[in-house]
Amino acid sequence: MTGARAIELAMTLRKQGIADTRVLSAIETIPREVFVDRPFETSAYENSALPIACGQTISQPYVVAFASQALELDPKHRVLELGTGSGYQAAILSPLCRMVYTVERHKPLLVQAEERFKTLQLRNIVTRHGDGLKGWPEAAPFDRILLSAAVSEVPQNLIDQLKPAGILIAPVGGDVQSARGVSQSLTKIVKSEHGIERENLLPVMFVPMIEGLPRDARKPDEPGKI
């Protein structure tokens, strides 16, 4: 059964050091099999990344849980996620905060993710088809920002969209043009009065953040909804 497998996954993550009980209960309640493509349904609760459409990946549950925990979320927070992909990370954030804003450059991925949010009745997720490197200026500032794709450096305009004392989590570094096989560091940035505090948290391997929209989808940024 789905529920049992998700509970088992949460137990595995707890053994691996994920201690935030709210994050663990989100892992238990969000069915990951909804976010993977048919051939991978049986692997949905394995602790591994899996391929999704458009040559992208759904992140490893451990990394999703780790990043969610590192965001130190409060139920009042408004969170920006860049790189919706399958939508799984946004779905995990949904019960942990007030509002999730998520941006994806591949329209087909976004449409699919929106359907999943609707199916699961995750009503506090809003979506946008656009370039995540621009953030979501109209909805800024955010309490938290999570980059779900790797950057060589965190763009200043994203830090600008963070509230004072806000936290940004991003996979930084590596050869982001050919990220497969090259690891990045999951980096925590805290915006303080004195500037930026930076901490390396975990070696990770994310697909790269790519500027602009894919060739077949060159349209202006479209705020969407679910």
Active site residues: 59
Q: Closest CB to ligand SAH among 86 and 191?
A: 86
Q: What minimum distance in Å lies between the beta carbon of 194 and ligand SAH?
A: 30
Whole-angstrom distance, CA of residue 68 vs CA of residue 72: 7
Among 84, 206, 111, 217, CA closest to 149: 206
Q: Closest CB to ligand SAH among 67 and 162?
A: 67
Residue with tokens 């043009």: 177
Whole-angstrom distance, CA of residue 212 vs CA of residue 138: 18
Closest residue by beta carbon to ligand SAH? 85
Whole-angstrom distance, CA of residue 112 vs CA of residue 97: 22
The site for ligand SAH (CB under 6 A) is made up of 56-59, 82-83, 85-86, 88-89, 103-106, 109, 131-133, 148-149, 207, 209-211
Q: What minimum distance in Å lies between the beta carbon of 149 and ligand SAH?
A: 4
Whole-angstrom distance, CA of residue 114 vs CA of residue 53: 15
Q: Closest CB to ligand SAH among 152 and 197?
A: 152
Q: Closest CB to ligand SAH among 193 and 216?
A: 216
Q: Determine phi and psi for 78, rounding to 5 degrees.
A: -105, 125
For residue 47, give the DSSP letter: S
Q: Are 47 and 60 in contact (CB under 8 A)?
A: yes
For residue 150, give the DSSP letter: B
Q: Are 145 and 168 in contact (CB under 8 A)?
A: yes
Strand, helix or coil for residue 115: helix
Q: Closest CB to ligand SAH among 68 and 165?
A: 68
Which strand ranges, in their side-by-side order, compose the sheet holding 222-223? 195-204, 184-192, 162-172, 142-147, 78-82, 99-104, 125-129, 222-223
